[in-house]
Each structure stands twice: as structure tokens, then as C-alpha cells.
Amino acid sequence: MKHIQKPIRYLMGVLLLSFVGCNNPIEDQEVKLLSPTGDEIYFGAFPDFGGPEDLVSAQKIIDFENLVNKKIAWACFSQNWYNGITYPKESIHIIHDQGSIPLVRLLPRSTQDEFVQEEQFSLQHIIDGVFDPQLRQWAQAAKADNIPLLVDFAVEPNGNWFGWSGIFNGADTKDGYGDPNYYDGPERYRDAYRHIIELFNEEGVEHITWFFHPDIHSLPDEPWNQPKLYYPGDAYIDWIGISLYGAMSPDDENWEMFDEILAQGYRSILDISTEKPFALLEFGVTDHHPDGDKALWIENAFESILAKEYIDFKAISYWHENWTEESGAQATLRLDSSPEALEMFKSYIQNPLFLSQGYFSE
């Protein structure tokens, strides 16, 4: 699929650069993803880059865009540190060459096993500068490549499944690290993320838009584990994103609609910042659940998003993937899990309010 290069344009006296299909972004200027104007919403996706989330290919992007009959503004993929902390140039160029923005998820993990503490790439090691040489090389390579990027570090830290989660890094203690009045788990995460951004700033990298990405649910839902405590701060972060999933497989006990889940957790998300735009960075639901209908869940999600119910999302990004649970149940989040689910998604995403290109500022 060939995308036409969009020209540099002026809007309200501010220079906006459309990098969709643009191979020569302007150098030495700060480049950040702008929040869309009015009711417009960016449309991105994880277009099924495999179980490790890093099997990036042009064909996957083409297939997804053909499936939903719409181009995506960005494609997200994970950089698993167990494969090395190196600038993922090949994956970035594949996405960029397809006319989309690369969204890189920096995941400091040595295994894909969940519910275990991360030892090798621990938050404390990041804070202590153990990986500074690799991160500086990453930053220098990104600067030399000069492709506008979206970067998301250690997603969903307020959950209890990833090794970088607060629950594995001091949780509610206050005497193991840093400020004696701050909970150690969130404080370590906050400081690790700040350390990375400060390092990139020192290297003069000015074309990264930084995302902070909690889950809609805090597990455990305790005062020490609220998303705002993990937040590096408005001076560091450009966008706030969340994950919001319905039932992940037919074996899940509960079926809840999108707006019900959002209603339960939106206050904790809005507490993070009053200044930054919000993105629904991951959402999806399984098919074939005995208590619910995927097409109706998708319809409910879009109606809530368009009505700006609870949160005014300025971007959405669907998680398009299937996998097999340990129980053997099939998690079928792919949009083509049924004709009804796919047609429902397509009927909403064709709305011109959902934008297929991102705009950047200088």
C-alpha cells in the first residue's frame, strides 16, 4: 500500500509537520505529537506483531489496514530488553516506510513470564545507571536516524503482572528507597522513567513523544498503588495513555462492558494530570464468551469514546492479537474473530473524526 507524502502545512500560525510518508523531518527542532483539534481522534493499533510483540513486518500493517479499510496513524511494538537494549532501527523503518508513526514500548524484562520480580533489568538498576551506556547509544542512534517516535516505557506499572510493577519494587514500604514519605514501589518506577528521559535529553534527542501508560485497574487497588504516584510529572511526559480490556478469554469469570470498566477507574486516571492529552493505548475484548457479545462491546466502546464519556480520549489504539491461555482457552482479540465484530468496528472507524495521520509540532 503506497501512501502519498503529505506536505508541510501551516495551521493557526503554528508550523505543523505531517510525517506520514515523510522521510526528511526537519533537524534540530523539538518534535512532539500534537493533540488533535476539536473532536478528532488519532487511530492507531497493535497490528498483530506476534506473541513477543516485536515481529514487525510491513505485511502485518498492510493486512490490518486492509482488514479495517482504514490507514493507521501509528503502529506499536515492544522492544524486549532480553533481546538487547539497542535502537530497533529495522522495525522503526518498516513502520515509518509504511506511512505510520512507530510507537516503541521499552520493556525492561529478561523473560515474558508474568507475576515475577525482574532482577536483571530492575528499576533500581536503571536508576543506578547500570544501563546508561546502552541507553545513550539508543538515544544517539535515534537522534541520528531523526524519525519522529512515540515511546512508552514499562507499561501498566500499577498492575501486578509485570516485573517492573510497584508491587515487586517496594510496594507500600517507605524506608527502602528515596523519600521517606513516598511509597517505594511507585517512587522507583517514577525515578527510573525520569532517569531515562533525562538521559535522552542530555543526548539532545528532540523528536520523541513520551507516554505514561497505567492500567485502568490498579491491582491491588490500594492508596499506595494509584497511577498518579507513578507519574514522572508534566515536565517529563507528553501524553497519558491507558489500557482497558474486557474479558480476555472465554474462561474469564466476568463480562463487563467498556463503559462499565471505564466508570470504575476513570477518576484515578484523570488525577494524573490536568494538562496532558489522554490516549486509549490498548483496548480489546475476546470473542465467544458465554456471557457477552464482542460486537456489542465494540459498539459500546465507540459510543463511549465518541461521547467523551468520563475521559476525552484524543487517540485510540486497538490490540489486534489472538493467543492461547495456559488453560487452553483461546483469547480472540483479533477483529476478524467474527464477521459481526469486524463489521461493527469498521462501521465506526470509518468516521472521519478518526484520523489516519499524526501531526507534530516544532
* CA angle (314 as vertex; 310, 317 as ends), nearest 5: 100
Sign of the torsion angle spanned by Cα atoms 121, 124, 126, 129 = negative
pLDDT bin (cut points 50, 70, 90) of residue 162 is very high
Residue 15 has pLDDT above 50, yes or no: no
SS3 353: coil
Give me the domains of the chain, ranges plus CATH numbers. 9-361 (3.20.20.80)
pLDDT in tens, 110-148: 999 999 999 999 999 999 999 999 999 999 999 999 999
140 is written with which cell numbers?
A: 544517539
Inform me whether the pLDDT recorded for 88 exceeds 50.
yes
Neighbours of 264 (CB within 10 A): 15
Q: What is the pLDDT of residue 17?
A: 37
Confidence of residue 29 (pLDDT cuts 50, 70, 90): confident
Distance between terminal CA atoms of the chain? 29
- Please tell me the distance from the alpha carbon of residue 278 to that of residue 33, in angstroms, as a whole number: 12
Question: Which is more confident, 64 or 2?
Answer: 64
The per-residue pLDDT for 281 is 98
Is the sign of the CA dihedral 266, 271, 274, 278 positive or negative? Answer: negative
Q: What is the C-alpha to C-alpha distance for residues 202 and 145, in angstroms, rounded to an integer? A: 17
State the cell numbers at 64: 490490518
| Burial call 291-313: b when 16+ CB within 10 Å, e when fewer | ebbbbebbbbbbebbeeebbbeb
Confidence band (pLDDT; 50, 70, 90) for 326?
confident
Q: Over 50: is that where the pLDDT of 20 sits?
A: no
- Express each pLDDT in 206-246 by its tens digit: 999 999 999 999 999 999 999 999 999 999 999 999 999 99
Residue 160: what pLDDT?
Answer: 97
pLDDT digits (tens, 9 = 90+) for 248-297: 999 999 999 999 999 999 999 999 999 999 999 999 999 999 999 999 99
Q: How far apart are CA 360 and CA 207, in angstroms?
A: 9
pLDDT reported for residue 28: 54
Q: Cα separation of 283 and 257, whole Å? A: 12
Nearest residue to 84 (alpha-carbon basis) of 137, 124, 123, 153: 137
Which stretch of 27-36, 162-171, 227-236, 301-310 has the lowest confidence by average pLDDT?
27-36
State yes or no: pLDDT of 61 exceeds 70: yes
